[in-house]
Amino acid sequence: MISDLFLNKLVDEIYKFVYKTNLEKYPINLHEPDLSNTKSLTYLKDCIDKNWVSSGGEWVKKFENKLCEYTKSKYAIALCNGTNALRLALQTIGVKKGDEVLVTPATFVATANAISHLGAIPHFVDIEPKTLALSASKLDERLEQISHRSNGYVFNKNTQNKISAILPVHVFGMPADFGALEVISKKWSIPIVEDSAEALGSWYKKNENFTHCGLLGEIGILSFNGNKIITTGGGGAILTNNKVFADKARHLSTTAKIPHPWEYFHDQIGWNDRMPNINAAIGFAQLEKIKNILEIKKRIYSRYIQILSDFDFVEIISPPKNSVSNNWLITLRILVEDDNHAISIRDKLLSMAHKKNILLRPIWKSLHNLPMYLNSPRGDLSEAEFQEKRLINLPSSTKLLS
């Protein structure tokens, strides 16, 4: 057994780091916005001076262009949040009511909710331990077990539902091992929609080039919620290199209105998913600083590696080779084989840290065990359940080092 004294020492080391420069003992959250040293106020004032605060403004266009420039995406569509962006991305590639989407259970609840919001069904497949992302081999294994092909499509032979997308998540900003997932996507002709909500600034090497997360599959999304790497207050975006998808997503996000100087003609039931101008203005201001933000995040990651190097029962999770992580949430893994022992260490670390006002969090509860998803189809999820007991997110805000 690992003694409480030793666990306390670990929490003390984290404490010394997170409170080093801040004598005032305010609670340390996992990830806080950082709008300092940006031109946010100037750009916000511009929106107010020009009396254009809502959707369709010039800062939305500027923000979209800046996103394209940074990620090298051909198209970016700024939206009101990441959840809606994901629902819209799924809808854009053709996911329909009653379809199944193969998805990881080790993610924020919004990933599965976005599927459900379309009336589609999350079908949970296990993760791989290194990146915590959807496992290509488990995906293939599951498809071999349950699928039958008809007219070029894949159906779940137990439910007769069409399987219309694969939805991997780049967990905590760490790129999934996309090469392996792509092989499975091609083998079964099922398109990939990427939940890159946490992965602005993360890249994966594809065909010799580093490709931004969200642009590895057919279509991907970002979130700019308050806790993400940059924030627009609330917001999200679709990234894609496919013009047909970009046009369709923009149309659906804009109440499916046919552009016209005065006429209200809508050709289907659309959504109002657009990002307001004031949100885009502060997003633009942070995007101007993204390189600086990522540099600080890298240093925080290195510091944690150093801080925890004396504790051989834990490790810091690191991205797969051929990838660059934005280090959004730095994550500690407890390297203890026995489940109960691991849970006991996890809970003690959480409680010791909270007593010191450091608000550590365990990874999200695996989605397949939440009440609304108890009846969702699923393969073997033993790795997700194993990892769930062993992961703790560490405070990762840029203000820790800036």
- In angstroms, give the least distance from the CB of 5 to ligand PLP: 35
Q: Which is nearer to ligand PLP, 164 or 231 (CB)?
A: 231
Distance, CA of 200 to CA of 325 (rounded, Å):
9
Distance, CA of 321 to CA of 158 (rounded, Å):
37
- In angstroms, give the least distance from the CB of 281 to ligand PLP: 18
CA-nearest of 174, 176, 210, 172 to 193 is 176
**x/- letters, 95..114, toward ligand PLP (CB under 6 A):** ------------xx-xx---
The 3-state DSSP class for residue 116 equals helix
- Residue 7 φ then ψ, to 5°: -65, -40
**Residue 231 and residue 223 in contact, taking contact as beta carbons nearer than 8 Å:** no
Q: Which is nearer to ligand PLP, 221 or 358 (CB)?
A: 221
Q: Going by C-beta distance under 8 Å and a sequence separation of 6 or more, which residues neighbour residue 322?
A: 179, 204, 205
Q: Which is nearer to ligand PLP, 7 or 134 (CB)?
A: 134
CA-nearest of 318, 321, 71 to 177 is 321
CA-nearest of 390, 393, 384, 387 to 334 is 390
Q: Which residues, numbered 218-277, are part of the site for ligand PLP (CB under 6 A)?
A: 223, 225, 236
Of all residues in the shown chain, the one whose CB is closest to ligand PLP is: 82
Q: Which is nearer to ligand PLP, 14 or 174 (CB)?
A: 174
**x/- letters, 331..370, toward ligand PLP (CB under 6 A):** ----------------------------------------
Q: Which residues, numbered 151-210, are part of the site for ligand PLP (CB under 6 A)?
A: 169, 195, 197-198
Distance, CA of 393 to CA of 181 (rounded, Å):
25
**x/- letters, 62..91, toward ligand PLP (CB under 6 A):** -------------------xxx--x-----
Binding site for ligand PLP (CB under 6 A): 81-83, 86, 107-108, 110-111, 169, 195, 197-198, 223, 225, 236
